[in-house]
Structure formats: C-alpha cells, structure tokens
A and B are shown apart, each in its own frame.
Chain A
Amino acid sequence: ETGVTQSPTHLIKTRGQQVTLRCSSQSGHNTVSWYQQALGQGPQFIFQYYREEENGRGNFPPRFSGLQFPNYSSELNVNALELDDSALYLCASSEGGAMDEQFFGPGTRLTVL
C-alpha cells in the first residue's frame, strides 16, 4: 500500500504566474484535503474534495482552485501568484467517513519570487 505522494517536491515561480500542484491519494481513499503551511506556522485548510466534488473550503481567495479526478488524485491550482503564497503545500487523504484519519503527503515547497 503506497502512501500519499505529491509532485513536484520543490517549485520556484515568479509573481503573477500560475502553478499546479499534484497529489496522489493513498490507496482506497476517496477524500483529499489541501493545506498551506507557511514557514514556522501550522497548516491552514484550503479545501477538501470528496468523490470529485468540493466538500468544504477555508478562508482562501478564489484564485486557489482544485480538482479531484475519478481515480481520486487531485490538483491544486493557484493563479496570479503573490509573494505570500510561498509556503509548503500539503495534501492529505482519508477514507471519507466521519472521524477518519487524514494521512499527509510530504508536501510541495513553493517559492514565489
């Protein structure tokens, strides 16, 4: 059983550009959540996808968007990048039922110059 994987590991972009981050959920998991972790801070919830539908969203602007595919993998897209978007982006998958543990991937480190 493979765990949650994310790609790329690191990414450097310039302000105003767009970025797509990818996540493969753990086998058997149909729910994916995305978090932003700024340096020295705890992760902040961006949104969650359950069976290809958005199932909750945190306090992030619409330029943060996502997708979940039929195989339950997921993408996080960020448009019009800002310097403050520099962070570690974490993906977590779970089986989708209430009280199910979320398993985190290693994250993608995004640097916006």
Chain B
Amino acid sequence: QQQVKQSPQSLIVQKGGISIINCAYENTAFDYFPWYQQFPGKGPALLIAIRPDVSEKKEGRFTISFNKSAKQFSLHIMDSQPGDSATYFCAASVQGRDDKIIFGKGTRLHILP
C-alpha cells in the first residue's frame, strides 16, 4: 500500500517556467510534509517542509500548497532554472514517533535551457 502518491513521474519545463509536482496521502495522522531534492550520486536534501496547520509556505522560488481536506499537497518551483534539474520527492511523517519518513516515488524534473 503506497501511502504517498506522487505525480507526474517525469516533467520537462522551459527555463523560466513554473514546475508543479503533486502528491496525495492517505494517513491522516501525518503531520509533517517535507519535499526533498536529489541530484545524481547524492542523498536527498530537504528543500522545504510544511505542517498541516498552514495552507501555503513559500521559501524563495519554492512554494508548498497544502489542502488538508483533500489530503493533497504540491510543490511549485517558480522561474525554473537548469540547476533545478533533479529528482524531487514528496514525503510525509508522523513527528515524535519514530520519525520515519514515507517517500513518494519521485519526479524527475528537467529544465530546458
């Protein structure tokens, strides 16, 4: 049973465009929703995270939108740059227990120069 579903699997965006990645979750106990960025040969790195008490969080060009009733959240990358080309993972966890992170399957993003 996949607890965090992510789409699309891959995405190609023109430089300067907006990249949008969507995720849905099932477990209503999740209370922490991070996004990770992974470059080839590297481990995932935390990009931005949100808790369910807010509907949006923005950090620079990266914005998370969160819809608690629909159990969905999305990552928007504004003014996408070639350096943003990487694999992005949405994730969820229940903080304070074992803190295990449940990852989506990932979106491979390619920004065309």
Contacts and interface: CB of A to CB of B under 8 A. Distances in A.
Interface in B1-58: 4, 6, 32, 36, 41-46, 49
A90 interface: yes
The number of chain A residues touching the other chain, given as a range, is 20 to 34
A99 B95 contact: yes
A42 B89 CA distance: 7
Contacts of B104: 42
Given A42-B106, A105-B43, A48 B99 contact: yes
Given A42-B106, A43-B44, A102 B101 contact: yes
B103 interface: yes
A45 B43 contact: no
A56 B97 contact: yes
Contacts of A55: 98
A58 B100 contact: yes
Residue of B41, B42, B46, B98 contacting most chain A CB atoms (<10 Å): B98
Interface of B: 4, 6, 32, 36, 41-46, 49, 89, 91, 95-106
12 contacts: A40-B106, A42-B91, A43-B44, A44-B103, A48-B98, A55-B98, A90-B43, A98-B95, A101-B46, A102-B101, A103-B46, A105-B43
